[in-house]
Amino acid sequence: MLRFLILLTSALSVVVSSAPSSTLECGACMLIIGQLEAKIALVDPKKTIESGSYRVSPTGEQKGLQQIPLARSESHIIDLIENICDEAKNFKRVVNTLTGKAVYVHKDSTYLRGEEDGKLRAKLLHSCSDFIDDNEEEILKSFVIRLKELALRSTFMTNVDPIDDIDDLWKWKKKVKEKPEIREVLKNYERNNGPEVLICHDMKGGYLPEESADGCEFDSENQPYIFLNWWNIDIFCYFSHHFITIPPISYTELAHKHGCISIGTFITEWNPGLKICEKLLKNRESAVETVDALVNIAEHFGFDGWLINIENVVKEEQIENLCLFLRLLREKSEKRNPNSRIIWYDSVLQDGSLKWQNALNEKNKMFYEACHSIYLNYNWTENMLLDSADHGLLRDIFVGIDVFGRGCIGGFDSWKSFSTAKLLRMSVALFRPGMVVMGIKFWQKLYPYIRTRKLLHTNIDTNFSCGLSFKNGKKWFKLADIQLQPHCLSTDCYPVEEGLQIEQIGSYSLFNFSVTSSKLSQRIYKNRMFK
């Protein structure tokens, strides 16, 4: 997500080393990311601020001003940065039980015990200040939405808009004669009886210019995130902190092309989320109205379900309506789409309190039972996972793994967390895979712990494009141009602008089939393109 943090993450391998300086620097880095994102999420997305030139024209008019969202405006991010390190007082140093390494976590994290003395927090505060002094420009570049980017996003938003208010959700209606937006239906899909892999895409607030129908220009300082390992995942979740996040059409079509389910995100957070939940869960009618809107939106845009992420307190007297909402959403989604998925995120408990369990247990089981699956928070231990197996089907319990390493082993060592899930035959939910720069190398390390889905038909049409091209002499990326990818993606076999690049002499299985007599193998020599 954030380039300066990605590079730092690569250098420190996300899981901090035993060296105190690395522990502090990693702790400061994670503090800044987590607190900035949390504070940005608290801002009303409809609130705006004037930005641009304050130059006065010869006629006395002030031109060049534009209303932009306050949350990611430069002035707001600068204000947040000025005081962000004060949050160090709310952190403690603990030993991660999975790695044996020292890390800094929020003091309210009850899953790990640690030291909370003032000297340790003072060191973290100073490290945070030093980190900002050295990287403020990169922080601003990563978090601030510039006017040029806003204009591109606005163009894109005419195609797919997120929804930030429940009243707007209830007003959403497709026109009776309007055709569904999706063109690529889900094919090559067959539900397996074993563990699955879900990736939760989270990039710079979502709805980026690179995801637009026309694509965008890019350079070495502003490269697009390109995900290619579609055969290694089962579910693609497009995530942002908008109330209702509808996946860009190009992502859903790309997922469907590779036999992968695409889902959107329903999220409520903190006080604004509490107000939404109060209206949503007021009575049966409001719950039904919300369900109908969500089902209609999914059908219209052609995606296959929702991640339900409620990260705010819910009134205890409304828990019954919450379960009703989830159950109806599952039932009505299944009637429209037999492959639909409704996935509950481990957050709220049966009494309405907000307390992440990092496990499936009696306190959150009722929500899991109303949905298809549960996505566990990231601070689990092996014992927590073993206990979870007593309360649900293994394949329907998604072990949360954060690539940024919050509470679990992440980064290029994420395979260690995957190995634990594989040993227990549980599914995996991978959050923020875009945090790593070298995506193919990252996934190559996961191959021993995940399956590669096979083609269920022999009708193949692809040039292996990864969406990169040149337009008017400039580098261009278009998500919709990504074609069917091979099964043999690796650091020796990967797509480039002109086709498929093979680095080593050998035999490569471009595609693996699950139909009789349809194995495909092609021998390609070093440094030759396959088109």
Q: Is 457 among the domain residues? A: no
Residue 456 lies in a domain: no
pLDDT at 502: 87
CA angle 31, 226, 252 (to 5 degrees): 100
- Same domain for 137 and 232? no
- Predicted TM-score (pTM) of this structure: 0.77
Please tell me whether residues 277 and 361 are part of one structural domain.
Answer: yes
Determine what percent of the chain is predicted with pLDDT higher than 70.
Answer: 78
> Higher pLDDT residue, 473 or 115?
473
Q: What is the pLDDT of residues 215-234, one digit of tens each?
A: 888 887 778 889 999 999 99
Checking phi first, is residue 112 left (phi over 0); if not, alpha (psi -120 to 50) or beta? beta
To the nearest whole percent, how much of the chain has pLDDT over 90?
Answer: 43
Final residue belonging to a domain, choices 414, 449, 484:
449
* Domain match, 162 and 132 both: no
Note the helical H segments in 158-266: 166-171, 249-257
3-state secondary structure of 204: coil
129 & 180 share domain: no
User: Do 229 and 364 fall within a single domain?
Assistant: yes
pLDDT at 357 over 60: yes
In a domain, 454, yes or no: no
Q: Which residue has the higher pLDDT, 510 or 156?
A: 510
What does the pLDDT look like over 382-422, one tens digit per residue? 999 999 999 999 999 999 998 876 667 667 778 889 999 99
Residue 178 and residue 302 in one domain: yes
Q: Is residue 459 part of a domain?
A: no
H or E element in which residue 128 lies: helix 118-143
Res 187: pLDDT: 78
Residue 334 in this model has a pLDDT that exceeds 60: yes
Q: Which domain holds residue 347?
A: 147-449
pLDDT-derived band of residue 99, with 50, 70 and 90 as boundaries?
low
| 461 domain residue, yes or no | no
On whether both 275 and 364 belong to a single domain, the answer is yes
**Confidence (pLDDT) at 390:** 96
Per-residue b or e along 19-56, where b marks 16 or more CB atoms closer than 10 Å to that residue's CB: eeebbbbbbbbbbbbbbbeebbbebebeeeeebeeeee
Q: pLDDT tens digits, residue range 25-41?
A: 777 777 777 777 777 77
pLDDT of residue 461: 84
Residue 248 lies in a domain: yes
* More confident site: 210 or 477: 477
Number of domains in the chain: 3
Residue 464 to residue 456: CA distance in whole angstroms: 18
Please count the other Cβ atoms lying within 10 Å of the Cβ belonging to residue 418. 22
Q: How far apart are CA 280 and CA 378, in angstroms?
A: 28
One domain for residues 362 and 340: yes
Closest to 315 in 3D by CA, of 348, 362, 355? 348
Tokens of 437: 């720069």
Judge whether residue 98 has pLDDT over 60.
no
> Which tens digit of pLDDT belongs to each residue from 3-12?
333 333 333 3
- Whether residue 525 is predicted with pLDDT greater than 60 in this model: the reply is no
Q: Identify the band that residue 129 occupies on the pLDDT scale cut at 50, 70 and 90.
A: confident
Is 463 among the domain residues?
Answer: no
CA 301 from centre of chain: 19
Per-residue pLDDT band for 60 (boundaries 50, 70, 90) equals low
Other residues' Cβ atoms within 10 Å of the Cβ of residue 170: 16
Looking at the structure, do residues 102 and 186 belong to the same domain, yes or no?
no
Q: Who wins on pLDDT, 62 or 459?
A: 459
- Give the CATH number for residue 205: 3.20.20.80
Strand 114-115 versus strand 102-106 pairing type: unpaired
Higher pLDDT, 127 or 121: 127
* Average of per-residue pLDDT values in the chain: 81
Pairing of strands 235-238, 244-245: unpaired
Asked if 128 and 83 sit in the same domain, the reply is: yes
Q: What integer pLDDT is reported at residue 59 of this predicted model?
A: 62
Q: What is the pLDDT of residues 442-451, one digit of tens each?
A: 999 999 999 9
Query: Do residue 197 and residue 180 come from a single domain?
Result: yes
Whether residues 415 and 495 share a domain: the answer is no
| Domain stop point among 114, 143, 172 | 143
C-alpha radius of gyration, the chain, whole number = 23
Q: What is the pLDDT of residue 146?
A: 54
Q: Which of 125, 143, 161 is the last residue of a domain?
A: 143
Structure tokens at 394: 């293994």
The identity of residue 393, as a single letter, is L
Is 460 among the domain residues?
no
Q: Which residue has the higher pLDDT, 304 or 104?
A: 304
356-375 mean pLDDT: 98
* φ, ψ of residue 404 in degrees (nearest 5): -80, -5
Tell me which of 60 and 496 has the higher pLDDT.
Answer: 496
Q: Quote the DSSP letter at residue 70.
A: S
Reported as a single tens digit per residue, the pLDDT across 8-28 is 333 333 333 333 556 677 777
**Residue 92 or 380, more confident:** 380
pLDDT at 62: 55
